[in-house]
Amino acid sequence: MVRVIAINGTERARTVDEHRAEVIELLGTRPTIELPLADCTGLVLAEDVRAGVSLPPFDNSAMDGYAVRSVDVVEAGPERPVELPVTEDIPAGRTDLPALLPGTAHRIMTGAPLPTGADTVVMVERTDGGTETVRVHEAAPPGAHIRRTGEDVAAGSVALAAGTVLGPAQLGLASAVGLDRLTVHEPPRVLVVSTGTELVLPPAELRHGQIYESNSVMLVAALRAMGCRVESLRSVADDVDAFRAAIEPKLADSDLVVTSGGVSAGAYEVVKDALTGAGVRFAKVAMQPGGPQGCGRWNGVPVVTLPGNPVSVLVSFEAFLRPALLSALGHSDVERRRVRARLTETLTSPRGKRQFRRGYYTQREGQVTGVVGPRGGPGSHLLAAFTQANCLIVLPEDVAEAEEGSEVDVLLL
Ligand code: AMP
Ligand code: MG
């Protein structure tokens, strides 16, 4: 656990890295589960997968053409075609084992098993395409257009190693070696809770003082994209009893609770009021946006409490929840790609805090370093600007101003 050190009786703000380490530790590593391939997309393989069969499982033709003995067509040329009787037709999927006799040809299709006795395949384009007899216009060296047993994967070898992220190619290979299920780290069931008496769900009409709820929509989208199963409570009033009553019945079916709002320094901070002393600790993190944060366990269930402003929510997700979830799901790389870029304008940042500004990064051809410009100001309510951003500009704690033309760190989203 990362400790918050008390200085002169007041808790100092914890660093982004300290809070992140605590959230990563809180989420731990997810247990493993066997899932159908179709449900494994984006998940991480939890154990090595050994191939039950070789790939290819048998010598087969890489072309539509004719399986022959190379010695029988060695004299073939454009002027002097060699004519052979076609004694078998072998489409893909034929499962018996016809043997090729010397001086004959078998018509063969791509992926069909090579008959014993044949040592080469002549492409149909190098013949007259005959079905009774075939005229071969070109010699074929031994082994031409043959895919050999096991040249892709040897039976018994590790086809996919534990830790592999399962994308289309990896899932395809799993099926190709005969599997219909894989053991992965199970995605958590996440309960997303938006707090705020002011929150209204579209399409209801707004009254003065009310706003449409948006945090849960962002969190659900971000969590689903990572494979999580998500349920949301979209407008829990700023009332401790109402908050507890809404969430407590769902705790048993949740692996993680993520709340937004109700954690800063004002009155009516419902999340803070309900969970202080119940296993969740609240702290100020030295960052902008997203200062007020909390995490811990409520009745044993991990809880991460995010601030209420929409931009703070997304930045907090990037800074804490995304790496913690990736780590819990078994990913070894939990970082966004970080690049250096030259600022198109001067930015200021509060000293002592790590600032995450929304930005747009471009790299022109031939450029070593890209350029980045801010989208919107530092305000944590400026959600529209976030929609135009493709990165976060990171201004470190010791930077108060970053001048136009200087190089900064950029996290690509
Ligand atoms: P809070 O941290 O609860 O004081 O909220 C900070 C700001 O974020 C306030 O302006 C809230 O109205 C706004 N806010 C809180 N939750 C949401 C939400 N779920 N959707 C949109 N805005 C929100
Ligand atoms: Mg609130």
Pocket of ligand 1 (CB under 6 A): 194, 196, 198-199, 211, 213-216, 260-262, 264, 307-310
Q: Which tokens go with 48? A: 């090595």
3-state helix/strand/coil string of 157-182? CEEECCCCECCHHHHHHHHHCCCCEE
Instruction: Put residue 136 in one of left, alpha, beta given phi > 0 → left and psi -120 to 50 → alpha.
Output: beta
Ligand 1 centroid from CA 309, angstroms: 5
User: Across residues 283-289, what is the average pLDDT?
Assistant: 97
Whether the full predicted model's pTM is greater than 0.95, yes or no, is: no
Which element (helix H / strand E) includes 380? none
Is residue 328 a contact partner of residue 188, using CB atoms and an 8 Å limit?
A: yes
Is residue 40 a contact partner of residue 170, using CB atoms and an 8 Å limit?
A: no
DSSP-H helix ranges across 187-302:
215-225, 240-251, 270-275
Which element (helix H / strand E) includes 322? helix 322-328
179-217 residue pLDDT tens: 999 999 999 999 999 999 999 999 999 999 999 999 999
Q: Which of 126, 165, 131, 138 is nearest to 46 (CA)?
A: 165
Q: Using the predicted structure, report yes or no on whether residue 413 has a pLDDT greater than 70.
A: yes
**The CA-based dihedral angle spanning residues 85, 63, 128, 106, taken in that order and rounded to the nearest 10 degrees:** 10
345-355 residue pLDDT tens: 999 999 999 99
225-281 residue pLDDT tens: 999 999 999 999 999 999 999 999 999 999 999 999 999 988 899 999 999 999 999
pLDDT of residue 11: 59
d(Cα 345, Cα 375) in Å, to the nearest integer?
Answer: 11
Is residue 195 a contact partner of residue 57, using CB atoms and an 8 Å limit?
A: no
Ligand 1 centroid from CA 12, angstroms: 25
User: Across residues 280-296, what is the average pLDDT?
Assistant: 97
Q: Which tokens go with 35? A: 């899932």
Ligand 1 atom closest to the Cα of residue 213 is: 20
d(Cα 390, Cα 412) in Å, to the nearest integer?
Answer: 6
112 forms beta bridges with none
Ligand 2 centroid from CA 200, angstroms: 13
Q: Using the predicted structure, report yes or no on whether residue 66 has a pLDDT greater than 80.
A: yes
User: Across residues 43-55, what is the average pLDDT?
Assistant: 98
pLDDT of residue 5: 44
Ligand positioned closest to the Cα atom of 211: 1
Q: What residues contact residue 85 under an 8 Å CB cut-off, 6+ apart? A: 103, 104, 105, 132, 133
Name the closest-CA residue to atom 6, ligand 1.
308
Residue 129 CA from chain centroid, whole number: 48
SS3 17: helix
State the DSSP code for 185.
E
Ligand 1 atom closest to the Cα of residue 307 is: 2
d(Cα 22, Cα 320) in Å, to the nearest integer?
Answer: 9
Ligand 1 centroid from CA 230, angstroms: 20
Name the closest-CA residue to atom 16, ligand 1.
308
Ligand 2 centroid from CA 319, angstroms: 21
Which of 271, 309, 316, 383 best tests ligand 1's pocket when mutated (most atoms within 8 Å of CB)? 309
Q: Give the end-to-end CA distance of the chain in Å, rounded to a whole number.
A: 29
Ligand 1 atom closest to the Cα of residue 260 is: 16
72-128 residue pLDDT tens: 999 999 999 999 999 999 999 999 989 999 999 999 999 999 999 999 999 999 999
99 forms beta bridges with 116
147 forms beta bridges with 60
Residue 242 CA from chain centroid, whole number: 36
Q: Using the predicted structure, report yes or no on whether residue 222 has a pLDDT greater than 50.
A: yes
Q: Using the predicted structure, report yes or no on whether residue 3 has a pLDDT greater than 80.
A: no
Ligand positioned closest to the Cα atom of 197: 2
Q: What residues contact residue 69 under an 8 Å CB cut-off, 6+ apart? A: 100, 102, 103, 117, 118, 119, 120
Instruction: Please spell the DSSP secondary structure of 105-122, one letter per residue.
Output: EEEE-TTPBPPBT--EEE
Per the listing, tokens 């099926």 go with: 175
pLDDT of residue 9: 40
Ligand 2 centroid from CA 216, angstroms: 13
Name the average pLDDT for the chain.
96
Buried b or exposed e, range 302-314, using 16+ CB within 10 angstroms? bbbbbbbbbbbbb
Ligand 1 centroid from CA 290, angstroms: 12
Ligand 2 centroid from CA 133, angstroms: 83
Which of 215, 272, 380 best tests ligand 1's pocket when mutated (most atoms within 8 Å of CB)? 215
Q: What residues contact residue 292 under an 8 Å CB cut-off, 6+ apart? A: 263, 264, 265, 282, 283, 284, 285, 307
353-397 residue pLDDT tens: 999 999 999 998 888 899 999 999 999 999 999 999 999 999 999
d(Cα 246, Cα 193) in Å, to the nearest integer?
Answer: 9
Per the listing, tokens 């384009």 go with: 125
Ligand 1 atom closest to the Cα of residue 234 is: 19
Q: Which tokens go with 38? A: 């179709």
Q: Which residue has the higher pLDDT, 4 or 241?
A: 241
Task: Report residues near ion ligand 2: CB below 5 Å.
Answer: 196, 261-262, 308
Is residue 56 reached through a cis peptide bond, with omega within 30 degrees of 0 on the bond before it? yes
Confidence of residue 12 (pLDDT cuts 50, 70, 90): confident
